Amino acid sequence: MPILLEKRQLVTPGDLIAEGDYIAGENTFAENNKIYAARVGIVEYENKRVDVVALKAFYIPRAGDIVIGTITEVGFNGWTVDINSPYIALLRASDVLSRPFKPQKDDLPQVLDAGDLVVAKIVSYDRTHDPQLTVAEPGLGKITRGQIIKITPTKIPRVIGRKGSMISTIKQETGCNIILGLNGVVLITGKTLEDEQLATRAILKIEQESHTSGLTDRITQMLREEKSKREENKK
């Protein structure tokens, strides 16, 4: 039974990808034993499973995901957090304070105020309830310095690269620490602003060209060129 399109083909919603005994994977749907694309993206398949890697999408929360969010509102016993998704996340006061919350004693805006950024993990989410966050784990909590950039959430895996090859290259070449929120928000903290800017440019380049091949090499090349240019300028 045939697959009608080759790997890495660009498809638009409604395009027939495969006919017959296949499983509809991500961004596809099955009807009458036929598999169609549901988003603009690139066809990938493995065994009997057909996927479309979306070129543009939005973030849908999943329990266990690390995300970067902005506090939008301080409530009575917690905060509401914008996690760059159709759904607003909730962060409980007792979770941040790591002890029971006492309204008489604790002043919430002093702990986290509107506009503050947090690295958090999603504890729970389903169709009927808004996602709930936690910061009670090492590496999570309020962000105090660094650069924030937003990219399409579907491209986060591309920034990570195969077995983390892409992200470790950028980290190594720029000396920056990079936290990738699965909601498409990226935090870059480096020693100097220039390092951070270089890492930012690399990540934005990956977003732009995520569907092309040989990207890791091009990124490495770009980073090295930029660095040598900078050293020449210093001299």
Partner 1 sequence: MNDKPEKLIDKKGLRLDGRKADEMRPVKLEVGVISNADGSAYIEHGKNKILAAVYGPREVHPKHLALQDRTVLKCRYHMAPFSVQERKSPAPSRREVELSKVIRECLEPAVFMEYYPRTMIDVFIEVLQADGGTRCASITAAALALADSGIPMRDLVVACAAGKVDNTVVLDLMDTEDKMGAADVPLALMPNLNAVTLLQMDGNLTREEFETAVNLALDGCRKIYAMQKEALKTKYVNVSEDTKEEAED
| 150 sits near partner 1 (criterion: CB under 8 A) | no
CB of residue 105 to partner 1, shortest distance in Å: 32
Vertex 226: Cα angle to 221 and 229 (nearest 5): 125
- 31, 107, 231, 232: which one binds partner 1 (CB under 8 A): 31
Residues 87, 155: contact at Cβ < 8 Å? no
- The shares of helix, strand and coil residues in the chain, as percent rounded to the nearest 5, are 30, 35, 40
36, amino acid identity? Y
Element (H, E) at 89: strand 89-92
- 87, 106, 123, 175: which one binds partner 1 (CB under 8 A): 87
- In whole angstroms, what is the distance from residue 14 CA to residue 11 CA? 8
- 23, 39, 106, 171: which one binds partner 1 (CB under 8 A): 39
| 149 sits near partner 1 (criterion: CB under 8 A) | no
Nearer to partner 1, 49 or 218 (CB): 218
Q: Which of residues 155-194 bind partner 1 (CB under 8 A)?
A: none
Sign of CA dihedral 154, 160, 165, 170: positive
For partner 1 (CB under 8 A), the number of binding residues is: 32
Contacts to partner 1 by CB under 8 A: 10, 12-16, 27, 29, 31, 36, 38-40, 54-58, 60, 86-88, 127-128, 152, 154, 208-209, 211-212, 214, 218
